[in-house]
Amino acid sequence: RKMRVGLVYGGKSGEHEVSLSTAFAVMNAFDFDKYEMIPFFITQAGEWRVGSLMNTPFADKEQLKLLDAKGGTVQAMDMLFRSLDRSAGTAVEAAIDVMFPLIHGTNGEDGTIQGLFEMANVPYVGAGVLASAVGMDKAFMKLVFADAGLPQVQYVHFIGAEWNRDQEQILRQTEEELGYPCFIKPANLGSSVGISKARNRAELIAAIELALQYDRKVIIEEFVDAREVEVSVLGNDEPQASVTGEIISSNEFYDYKAKYIDGKSGMQIPAELDAELAASIREMAVRAYRAIDGSGLSRVDFFVRRSDSQVFINEVNTMPGFTPYSMYPLMWKETGKPYQQLLDDLIELALNRYAAKQ
């Protein structure tokens, strides 16, 4: 029979809507001669809805949410865990050959859903539990990068309880070590949600309070006036890097609005960089990928300081934006790998990783 792909989207995440757009694009790009799809929609409240087997994509994005409510969380888990049921003496046929999580941010990109798939013994696309968790927590990610010798900006981090106890000390340390302006971020988020730039103490305090509304952990970074250059990495044990790409943000920084709303931010692929610099950034991207123990895919993001072209790694995203118009697939396209091929490769990588562990 055709390969059955469980497409998981939505999610109890600040990036719920972004995930729906990605899911719709992916669904439409799949070759339905080769694949069948089972849609799994996770509502904003975290409930699962499972649809029936599909041989053609949905006609529009809104349909992604209109899955049969009877096929709720219990049925979704039943399908996921079916191949574990050996009560009849032999394994029951798996309902799904491979899961494809298309959820950005918390409860999707952070290792939690990956852990569920591990427990269910079902192959899944993308990074594993550890890489997902490390790639989601900006403070842990920085520790791992430092260990791999990757250059990064100065930073401090703390949790809400420490802030409540030692405000004055945290403010003084930030001002001494980082100065203004600085960037304040919730440690575990993406899509620039909850991120601000502060130019003085009043703004810094407001920014910390804002970030703490999204996460109990906050990270503050030294500001760097830089170009933003990204690399797509694909693979398991032998990861490959794409050409570089540059984000030309429409706003003061690449915030949520610039990313998804005003549509004005541009991309330059490949980035206009001298060949040696581009090669070194691509090498660092693979090093960062190995450092977090990546598999499947990741987009690795860098800052290239305008004054002297010094490179700093910013972050890895283990589930980057994935519509055909997103950076990740576009950088592969420019490297010679079209969108459909990329989907095929990701599924093959998922199956290979699973097989290697059996």
Asked whether position 145 contacts ligand ADP by CB under 6 A, the answer is no
Choose which of 31, 92, 166, 253 interacts with ligand ADP (CB under 6 A). 253
Asked whether position 210 contacts ligand ADP by CB under 6 A, the answer is no
Asked whether position 190 contacts ligand ADP by CB under 6 A, the answer is yes
Which one of ligand ADP, Mg ion, none is in contact with 224 (Cβ closer than 5 to 8 A by kind)? ligand ADP
Q: How far apart (Å, rounded) are the C-alpha atoms in residues 346 and 252?
A: 34
- What lies within 8 Å, CB to CB, of 315 at 6+ separation is 135, 138, 141, 300, 301
CB of 245 to Mg ion, least distance (A): 13
Choose which of 47, 175, 228, 344 interacts with ligand ADP (CB under 6 A). 228
Tell me which residue of 94, 103, 160, 93 sits closest to 126, measured CA to CA. 103
Tell me which residue of 276, 329, 350, 357 sits closest to 125, measured CA to CA. 350
Asked whether position 221 contacts ligand ADP by CB under 6 A, the answer is yes
Residues in touch with Mg ion (CB under 5 A): 190, 315, 317
Question: Which range binds ligand ADP by CB under 6 A, 8-16, 142-150, 182-190, 343-351?
Answer: 182-190
Amino acid identity of residue 280, one-letter, is: S
CB of 99 to ligand ADP, least distance (A): 24
DSSP string, 246-290: EEE-SSSS--HIIIIIS---EEESS----HHHHHHHHHHHHHHHH
Choose which of 9, 24, 117, 254 interacts with ligand ADP (CB under 6 A). 254
* 229-to-300, 321, 332, 344 alpha-carbon distances in Å: 9, 15, 14, 26
Which one of Mg ion, ligand ADP, none is in contact with 185 (Cβ closer than 5 to 8 A by kind)? ligand ADP
Q: Which residues bind ligand ADP (CB under 6 A)?
A: 153, 183, 185, 189-192, 195, 221, 223-224, 228, 249, 253-254, 301, 314-315
